[in-house]
């Protein structure tokens, strides 16, 4: 998956291959659009990276995108995953895939007066995003890293890939209360954000937004919609209820330096946090949720 916020920066372009190189101690390179298009032959890119162009990296990682998931490259491979929806048609998704409660929520959103439509990415829309971000400093049991970001930073962060993106807004009484940013690839659309105001949760805006996203995917002939990595907890239950399933796909790692070879041998290619056992990570996440849930919100 893409680097954590603040860790990656676009490297100087190689012809046809925009790269992101992220990390501090271990520099990991990947295609900037790895989720949106296939890499058919990684060898020329690996050779360029090993020569030190366009920027010094210790590891190069790339993936095979769904549904082509049978491993086929001779590099160190681990299984990565995403939450993906193969919906068939909107009618099939609505009538046969999502659960009864989700259907009720989509209908409830319309009855509550929610208007869901595509939106222009202009200053008014960005102001609406800022209001959503600033509603709460904590989301899903952890500090919300978009909280109180300045307008210019919010606009810049959401302005990526505008040539192949579409924004869907959920409006209540002309106020933006939720949005999805959809990024279109060759056979996959993916969500970069799915977020709505907590205070309007009773109107089921996220369910209505996802329904519109499926409708747009069908109109564009894209058979898959992805929603980040597979999740546990409440977010995972929400994805499952809306028809998303776990898709595992190969992720490859190629060492480019001595440091890269050592870190790969020690299993540190995903960072120290991800090297911890899964059960320990889950316990630490639960402790974090309890800690933030017990703290008073700042005034």
- CATH value at residue 230: 3.40.630.30
Cα four-point dihedral sign 268, 274, 280, 285: positive
Which residues have a Cβ under 8 Å from the Cβ of 50 and sit 6 or more positions away? 256
**What one-character DSSP code corresponds to residue 251?**
E
Per-residue pLDDT band for 36 (boundaries 50, 70, 90) equals very high
Shared domain check, 169 and 152: yes
| Tally of domains in the chain | 2
Say if 1 falls within a structural domain: no
Of 28-37, 81-90, 156-165, 200-209, which range is least confident?
Answer: 28-37
Shared domain check, 202 and 172: yes
Per-residue pLDDT band for 1 (boundaries 50, 70, 90) equals very low
pLDDT of residue 85: 98
Q: What's the pTM?
A: 0.82
Examine the fold and report which residue of 242, 262, 279 is the final residue of a domain before the chain moves on: 242
Shared domain check, 212 and 257: no
Task: Note whether 191 and 226 are within 8 A (CB).
Answer: yes
Shared domain check, 198 and 97: yes
Mean pLDDT score across all residues of the chain? 88
3-state secondary structure of 269: coil
Say if 122 falls within a structural domain: yes
Say if 3 falls within a structural domain: no
Shared domain check, 259 and 238: no
H runs (alpha helix) in the chain: 43-50, 90-92, 100-111, 123-133, 151-158, 205-220, 233-241, 258-266, 272-275, 278-294
3-state secondary structure of 130: helix
Shared domain check, 233 and 134: yes
Task: Note whether 253 and 76 are within 8 A (CB).
Answer: yes
Per-residue pLDDT band for 270 (boundaries 50, 70, 90) equals confident
| Beta bridge pairs of residue 88 | none
> For 187-194, what is the mean pLDDT?
95
Per-residue pLDDT band for 296 (boundaries 50, 70, 90) equals very low
214 vs 17: which has the higher pLDDT = 214
Say if 257 falls within a structural domain: yes
Shared domain check, 278 and 205: no
Q: Which two tokens stand for residue 158?
A: 């959401």
Task: Note whether 209 and 196 are within 8 A (CB).
Answer: yes
Q: Which two tokens stand for residue 271?
A: 């960072």
Say if 16 falls within a structural domain: yes
Per-residue pLDDT band for 73 (boundaries 50, 70, 90) equals very high
Residue 195, judged by CB atoms within 10 A of its CB (0-12, 13-18, 19+), counts as: buried
| pLDDT of 161 above 90 | yes
54 vs 85: which has the higher pLDDT = 85
Per-residue pLDDT band for 54 (boundaries 50, 70, 90) equals low
Shared domain check, 14 and 157: no
Shared domain check, 103 and 74: no
Q: What is the distance, to the nearest Å, from the Cα of residue 65 to the centroid of all Cα atoms in its chain?
A: 14
Say if 299 falls within a structural domain: no
> For 36-58, what is the mean pLDDT?
86
pLDDT of residue 52: 75
**What one-character DSSP code corresponds to residue 122?**
S
The C-alpha atoms of residue 272 and residue 4 are separated, in whole angstroms, by: 13
Q: Work out the number of other CB atoms within 10 angstroms of the CB of residue 224.
A: 19
List, for residues 100-139, the tens digit of each pLDDT value: 999 999 999 999 999 999 999 999 999 999 999 999 999 8
Task: Note whether 11 and 54 are within 8 A (CB).
Answer: yes
List, for residues 231-246, the tens digit of each pLDDT value: 988 899 999 999 999 9
pLDDT of residue 4: 36
**What one-character DSSP code corresponds to residue 142?**
E
Say if 45 falls within a structural domain: yes
| pLDDT of 147 above 80 | yes
Shared domain check, 113 and 171: yes
Per-residue pLDDT band for 15 (boundaries 50, 70, 90) equals very low
Report which of 97, 76, 75 is spatially closest to residue 86, judged by C-alpha positions: 97
| pLDDT of 283 above 70 | no
Q: Which two tokens stand for residue 219?
A: 């109109």
pLDDT of residue 293: 56
Shared domain check, 270 and 164: no
% of the chain at pLDDT higher than 70: 84
Shared domain check, 260 and 238: no
Helix (H) or strand (E) holding 188: strand 188-196
> For 241-256, what is the mean pLDDT?
97
3-state secondary structure of 157: helix
- Residue 140's domain comprises 88-242
Of 3-7, 12-16, 265-269, which range is least confident?
Answer: 3-7
Q: Which two tokens stand for residue 185?
A: 């690839």
Which residues have a Cβ under 8 Å from the Cβ of 76 and sit 6 or more positions away? 252, 253, 254, 264
Task: Note whether 65 and 38 are within 8 A (CB).
Answer: yes
| Beta bridge pairs of residue 190 | 183, 226
3-state secondary structure of 35: coil
Say if 2 falls within a structural domain: no
């Amino acid at each position: 998956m893409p680097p954590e916020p603040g860790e990656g920066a676009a490297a100087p372009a190689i012809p046809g291959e925009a790269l992101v190189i992220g990390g501090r101690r271990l520099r990991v390179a990947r295609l900037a659009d790895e989720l949106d298009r296939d890499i058919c032959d990684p060898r020329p890119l690996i050779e360029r990276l090993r020569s030190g162009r366009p920027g010094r990296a210790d590891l190069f990682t790339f993936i095979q995108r769904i549904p082509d998931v049978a491993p086929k490259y001779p590099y160190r491979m681990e299984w990565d995953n995403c939450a993906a929806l193969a919906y068939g048609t909107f009618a099939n998704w609505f009538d046969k895939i999502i659960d009864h409660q989700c259907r009720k929520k989509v209908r409830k959103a319309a009855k509550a007066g929610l208007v869901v439509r595509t939106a222009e990415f202009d200053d008014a829309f960005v102001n609406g995003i800022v209001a959503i971000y600033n509603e709460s400093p904590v989301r899903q049991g952890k500090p919300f890293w978009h909280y109180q970001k300045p307008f210019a930073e919010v606009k810049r962060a959401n302005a990526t890939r505008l040539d192949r993106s579409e924004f869907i807004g959920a409006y209540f009484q002309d106020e933006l209360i939720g949005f999805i940013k959809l990024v279109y690839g060759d056979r996959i659309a993916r969500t970069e954000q799915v977020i709505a105001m907590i205070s309007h949760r009773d109107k089921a805006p996220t369910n209505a937004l996802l329904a519109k996203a499926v409708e747009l995917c069908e109109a564009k002939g894209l058979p898959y919609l992805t929603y980040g990595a597979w999740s546990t907890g409440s977010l995972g239950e929400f994805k499952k209820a809306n028809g998303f399933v776990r898709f595992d796909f190969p992720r490859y790692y190629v060492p480019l330096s001595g440091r890269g070879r050592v870190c790969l041998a020690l299993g540190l290619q995903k960072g120290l946090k991800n090297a911890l056992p899964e059960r320990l990570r889950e316990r630490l996440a639960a402790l974090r949720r309890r800690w933030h849930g017990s703290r008073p919100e700042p005034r």
